[in-house]
Structure 1
Amino acid sequence: MVDSKQKSYIIKALIPYLIAFYLFWAVYSIFIEPIIEKGPYLINLVGGNLIKLGAWTVPVLVLLKYLFKEDPWDYIKLRKNKLRGLVYGSLYGVVIIIYVTVSRLLTNGTLQFNPFFELDSWIGGVLLVGFTEEIVFRGFLLQKFEEAMGSKYANAVTALLFLLIHFPKWYVNGNLFIPGFMVNSIAFIFLFSILMAVLLKKTDSLLTCILIHSANNFAMFALGA
């Protein structure tokens, strides 16, 4: 049971982390990443992914270990219930691939499915994205907010934060002021985050969220999103 003093400590610790994290990622996405993408392919492939691991995953593990005095891998739920996480993650991963495929078919009337998209999208957008992003949002922030404010508000706050982290990239890609894109994307991402929170609670394994997130991105890239 977390008392009021501990709840206050959690919020006070999370606020500077969130400010630094969002500020860095906005600056990186808008000003630095486009330069890296125009450079040599190998630097883009390796450097971009290392920067994301360094900015997203490493700080969370450090904060959990040294600020919150937790075992990072136990806390983010990657050490136990691996089989349950694998089963649920695989099952719901297939479901979300089907959902994205049907949605695209209904929207466009046709399908162009290509699983052999670019290597950098495969590595950064599929294989690593579930690991980097789910550790931050469901493994760390969701659980810390639950300790501070309960599940109901924690789910909503985490979903909002997960939504906001996409805005810099949308701005760079020119999608931020396209009403149809924004309405669909905001609704999907917010509900996706809520689903991840529910499944994390049900399976007690972050592996579930990682697999589903990667499956979703695979479908997006394979369908040309």
Structure 2
Amino acid sequence: MKQTNWYANLASQYAILWLIWLGVQDYLYGELIKLPATANDADFIVNTVIKSIVWLGLGIWWLHSDRAQLWLSGKLYNRHFPTLFWELLILFVGYLLVTAIYEHHSLTIMPDLFTRERHGFIGVALIAGVTEEFIFRGYFMNRLLHRYAFMTANIIQALLFLGIHLPIYFVDHLSMMGWLNNVLTVLPLGLIFGWVFYRSKNLWPSTILHCVWDAMIFALI
């Protein structure tokens, strides 16, 4: 594949994902919360059902169609958990516990995480980690590493990872400070998850870290 076609193909794939997710977050979610039958289930439908179908579906399709252009074409999930993963897991948990105690002066888990009104926890804390790691580290970074050195590939995929969060920022009408806080969180996390995937050649470590981060933020902070 010529270089120009390679870039165009990757850009078009990302654009498809981005535009679909913009439509889901901006239009579909708004329609779901207007309907009595789906109003309470809107978060679950969008973040769990639709995200699983769209993101995993596109990821599986692209991994299959572009398997000759992947850095890691074998099994994406295996039992290799490097020391780096365990160090980062301890660091994540410790940092979030300290942050929760500092902000709330106590360590309190929200009591209604799995009630009808709060079952968005499943999508935010679990499905997001699985689907986002599958498509951004498992596909986009995997494909970038076939062409670029680690540092370049990691920066590009982290920027793509940041970009996919923009639709929800638009929908939520975040303030300038909200944008800044999210950028300063999502971008470093994207780099860390990419680093872990590269070191382990395994999607489980970055997926677990991602889920732990999201779950603790949702439940404690």
Match of 2:128 in 1: 129
Q: Note the alpha carbon deviations across 1:174-210, whole angstroms, 9 max, x for none.
A: 32x232x322221121111111111112112110011
CA distance in 2, matches of 1:92, 1:121: 26
Call closer, same or farther: CA 1:34–1:92 in 2, change over 3 Å.
Answer: farther
The total of aligned residue pairs comes to 213
With over 3 angstroms needed to count, the CA separation of the structure-2 counterparts of 1:124 and 1:137, relative to structure 1, is: same
What is the aligned counterpart of 1:100 among 93, 96, 103?
A: 96
Aligned with 2:186 (options 174, 185, 189) = 189
**What code does the residue aligned with 1:204 have?**
K
Question: Using the alignment, how far apart are the partners of 1:40 and 1:184 within structure 2?
Answer: 29
CA RMSD of aligned residues (A): 2.8
**Equivalent residue for 2:108, pick from 113, 117, 120:** 113
2:16 maps to which of 7, 17, 20? 20
- 1:133-155 alpha-carbon deviations (Å, 9 max, x no partner): 10011111011112233222211
* Contact 1:196–1:209, Cα closer than 8 Å, also in 2: yes
Trace 1:42-57 onto structure 2 (pairs within 5 A).
Answer: 42=41, 45-46=44-45, 48-57=47-56
- Alignment of 1:178 with 2:164, yes or no, is no
Q: TM-score scaled to structure 1, two decimals?
A: 0.80
Shift of the 113–9 alpha-carbon distance from structure 1 to 2, 3 Å rule, reads farther
Find the aligned partners of 1:76 and 1:133 in 2 and give their Cα distance.
Answer: 19
Structure 1 runs (4+) deviating above 6 angstroms are: none
Distance 1:53 1:138, change over 3 A: same
User: Structure 1 residues 125 and 48, CA, compared in 2 at 3 Å: closer, same or farther?
Assistant: closer
CA distance in 2, matches of 1:76, 1:214: 24
Structure 1: state its 5+ residue gaps. none
The separation in 2 between residues aligned to 1:20 and 1:63, in whole angstroms, is 12
* Cα contact 1:22–1:165 (8 A) shared by 2: yes
Is there any run of 5+ residues in structure 2 with no aligned partner, and where?
Answer: none
Equivalent residue number for residue 33 of structure 1: 29
CA contact (8 A) 1:33 1:48 kept: no
